[in-house]
Structure 1
Amino acid sequence: MSDRDDAGGDRTPPAVAIVDAKTSGNVGTIARAMKNFGFEDLLLVDPPYLGRDSEAYGFAGHAREDVLPEARELTFDELAAEFHTVGFTAITNEDATSHTRFPFRTPAELGESLADVDAPTALVFGRERVGLTNDELAQLDEVGAIPASADYPVMNLGQAATVALYELRDLAMRETQLPDIERHRADEAEIEQFYEHAAEFLDAVDYPEEKREKTMRMLRRMLGRTHPTGREINTVHGLLRRAENRIE
């Protein structure tokens, strides 16, 4: 696995470890989530059958091409010894009197702290029904938990891993596929021209003089929050022109 460049220099994304999964489909689902969010190294402890004809390959999407077939099998003791480990578990309402599942960090908090860890790191997910045992968690370095409703905090293995990997994506991805809002935002000159047009429109419809300043200020604040694109500004210009033509 190659290192990735980011603002902090070269960094190897954390590995993702799955312990004793019972269904190959969940392994495939997690492999797919890894591919979605830039994670590459899949570690398997006591895995189910993962042949090409298994559900894992059906669920893995494009991860069937690299993440899944390049997965490495190892023992739990090897995992704990080789990596700085973060075991994920449901929130249990335990406190400082119990150190097995406490203290824990949320994925968002882990994203900040793991960025400073200069060691191979593994994010560890347990079984579908019971997760990681207390004995296993006792061997790991940190505990992570996803905040969920107290009425039903337990998540499906594949769902839990997907949520965690999404929250930790900055540890693995240099860039996302989402467009840069600022890059697509209309030029300030275009926006100012719209404000001028809007003021002329208020005049054309005999909008009360005493309300115009406040209305223009509200319009400026509203557009300031929305970051309109050039196309959006042109569209609204067109609506005003059409209304003006109707008035005339």
Structure 2
Amino acid sequence: MGVAVAVVDAETPGNVGTIARAMKNFGFGSLQLVDPPDLDPDGEAYGFAGHAREDVLPNHDVLTFDELVSEFYTVGFTAMTGRDEGRHVRYPFKTPAELAEHLADVEGDIALVFGREGTGLSNEEFARIDEVCSIPASPDYPVLNLGQAATVALYELRGLTLDEMHHPDRHDRADERALEGLYDQFQSFLAAIDRPEEKRAKTERMLRRVLGRAHPTGREVTTLRGLFRRAEMQIDRARDEES
């Protein structure tokens, strides 16, 4: 299965560049353009594309809408859906999250189709598209611009192209042995500060609950253990000096 992104009759080169950049972010490589604007290598499309200017944008294909619907299983994106079967051109529809699971079972090539900045895809075009997707938004202002809509949709559908999500800030929780070592250190600290024995168990449970919610990393646990240990050493030193 190949997944392409198609943009129909985009009015501004910058939006094409923005979509190409979002494609690069989320693992999509095939950009299909129907009636595109001029994409000057020195213009705003390439300026907005980021690193996608190196591959996604210059390798785009230009095709007709007839070719698009005949060569791909098409999913059209819209803000205006019609919410019942009486307005069936854009109904039924799925959200991007619902669509992700569904498209994983589709055989053949898929095109995620976005329309014009001002009017989107027409009803005539939707009538020829296989499926409709709508991005949930506030009813007070549900309309997203073209670049925003594509970025949100491609983020939700990234699982179609990325086997493993790369996230440099992924949280690695400390293992249980490290946490137990911290709790033992805290217990020793409570004794060093002469916390009343009848209150120690409750204080230890409190720390367990706090850290259970916080999911500290291994480095954070090591730092806390070092602080408690250093505090104990200073307490012992002060007592030795007093005696």
TM-score (norm 2): 0.90
Match of 1:168 among 132, 157, 163: 157
Contact kept, 8 Å, 1:90 with 1:146, in 2: the verdict is: yes
Q: Which moved more, 1:75-84 or 1:24-33?
A: 75-84
Q: Which has the larger radius of gyration?
A: 2
Alpha-carbon RMSD across the aligned residues, in angstroms, is: 1.9
Deviations 1:122-180 (A, max 9, x none): 10001111111111111111111111111101001001100110111111112232148
Partner of 1:153: 142
Flag the 1:194–1:89 CA change in 2: closer, same or farther, 3 A: same
Counterpart-to-counterpart distance in 2, 1:214 and 1:146: 48
Counterpart-to-counterpart distance in 1, 2:175 and 2:50: 40
Match of 1:230 among 213, 218, 222: 218
Deviations 1:189-238 (A, max 9, x none): 21110011112222333434444334333422332333322211111112
Query: Given residue 60 of structure 1, which amino acid in structure 2 is its aligned partner?
Result: A
Flag the 1:239–1:40 CA change in 2: closer, same or farther, 3 A: same
Partner of 1:25: 14
Partner of 2:209: 221
Q: Does the alignment pair 1:132 with 2:132? A: no
TM-score (norm 1): 0.88
Counterpart-to-counterpart distance in 2, 1:92 and 1:207: 64
Partner of 1:16: 5
Match of 2:54 among 36, 52, 65: 65
Counterpart-to-counterpart distance in 2, 1:175 and 1:26: 28
Q: Point out where structure 1 has 5 or more consecutive residues left out of the alignment.
A: 1-10
Query: Given residue 11 of structure 2, which amino acid in structure 1 is its aligned partner?
Result: K
Contact kept, 8 Å, 1:32 with 1:62, in 2: the verdict is: yes
Count the aligned residue pairs. Answer: 236
Q: Percent identity?
A: 66
Deviating above 4 A after TM superposition, structure 1's stretches of 4 or more consecutive aligned residues are 179-182
Q: Which moved more, 1:96-105 or 1:158-167?
A: 96-105
Q: Which moved more, 1:184-193 or 1:108-117?
A: 184-193
Q: Does the alignment pair 1:85 with 2:74? A: yes
Counterpart-to-counterpart distance in 2, 1:174 and 1:180: 18
Contact kept, 8 Å, 2:26 with 2:161, in 1: the verdict is: yes
Counterpart-to-counterpart distance in 2, 1:65 and 1:47: 19
Q: Point out where structure 2 has 5 or more consecutive residues left out of the alignment.
A: 237-243
Match of 1:122 among 86, 111, 118: 111
